[in-house]
Structure 1
Amino acid sequence: MKRFIPHVTVATVVEDQGRFLLVEEHAEGRVVLNQPAGHLEADESLLQAALRETLEETGWEVELTGVTGIYLYTAPANGVTYQRVCFAARPLRHHPELALDHGIIGPRWLTRDELETRSAQWRSVLVARCIDDYLAGPPYPLELIREPTWLT
């Protein structure tokens, strides 16, 4: 029997005055929109991963303010199952001089309505689901995430 191993990922919903920080990127041969998101790395906490991925993909430093939700998603394109921990965050400062990750076109600030008009570009249904869960609020406290003390 083949062992099932989901990929652990993080994402952030960053909101500023009704607009959400998204990433426009190349994925699976097309241009898509996603939250700043990526895989958890070895010896990294979920919180550290969310901060790192947001900075690497958008050039924005953020402050995590809560947990929006935990999601399981199997991508139809490759059959891989992802466990996504999505955080709420607020923007602190932008570093436009930073080189963004490979494949990233750039950060985009969109309202929920603007995002809806671009639904064909969503990387997955989780793009809207995470924002909608954030808007339904309030987020769960960050203390929901129990991490080993050696990671903090």
Structure 2
Amino acid sequence: MARIDHYNDPHAPQPNSIVPAVSVIVRDETDRLLLIHRTDNDLWSIPGGAMEPGESVRQAAVRETNEETGYDVEITGLVGIYTDPNHIIAYSDGEVRSEFSICMTGRITGGQARTSSESSEVVWQPLEQLDALDIHPSILLRITHVLDTSRKQPWLS
């Protein structure tokens, strides 16, 4: 299913749903970020997606990371809760969501890189080369927050 991410767009469609979602920022020992090239909007992103009934936030984060990257992760912390009403996600089936995402940090515990129906590429991207990729501003905000070592509290929006 295709999607369009609207951000600060006065012409964005009105939301008709809100779905709890998770995302996970994983860095390796050389400080590279685990990123996927999404198949639904053709943007680069951290792994993540909607929670399923019966899942905890932690379980959803572990499942989504594995589904999209092939890696098993352990959740190690909370980056923040992102609920920007100016970020609207429109799907090809007519669903239009307001952003609601809980972003966590994680550590690889196993698995190996592989793509999925949701990810056409899985890469370890050096931080200094992030600007070479087309990454949505809402994902860049999460990455900025995790890299800000002066932050003492999770982001709440």
TM range (shorter): 0.7 to 0.9
1:106 aligns with 2:110: no
Identical amino acids, percent of aligned pairs: 26
The answer on whether the counterparts of 2:75 and 2:104 sit within 8 Å (CA) in structure 1 is: yes
The structure richer in helix per residue is 1
In the alignment, which of 43, 47, 52 is matched to residue 54 of structure 2?
Answer: 43
Q: CA deviation at 1:47?
A: 0.4
Q: CA deviation at 1:25?
A: 2.0
Q: 1: CA distance between counterparts of 2:88 and 2:132? A: 22
Instruction: Give the letter for the 1:26 counterpart.
Output: T
TM-score, with length taken from structure 1: 0.76
Q: 2: CA distance between counterparts of 1:54 and 1:71? A: 18
1:128 aligns with 2:128: no
- Structure 1 segments unaligned to the other structure (5+ residues): 142-152
1:26 aligns with 2:39: yes
SS in 2 for 1:80: strand
Cα RMSD of the aligned pairs, angstroms, is 2.5
In the alignment, which of 85, 88, 91 is matched to residue 105 of structure 2?
Answer: 88
In structure 1, what is the equivalent of residue 8 of structure 2? none
1:117 aligns with 2:132: yes
Instruction: State the 4+ residue runs in structure 1 displaced beyond 6 angstroms.
Output: none
- Structure 2 segments unaligned to the other structure (5+ residues): 1-13, 91-95
Q: 1: CA distance between counterparts of 2:59 and 2:37? A: 22
In structure 1, what is the equivalent of residue 82 of structure 2? 71
Q: CA deviation at 1:70?
A: 0.6
The answer on whether the counterparts of 1:57 and 1:106 sit within 8 Å (CA) in structure 2 is: no
Q: 1: CA distance between counterparts of 2:123 and 2:18? A: 29
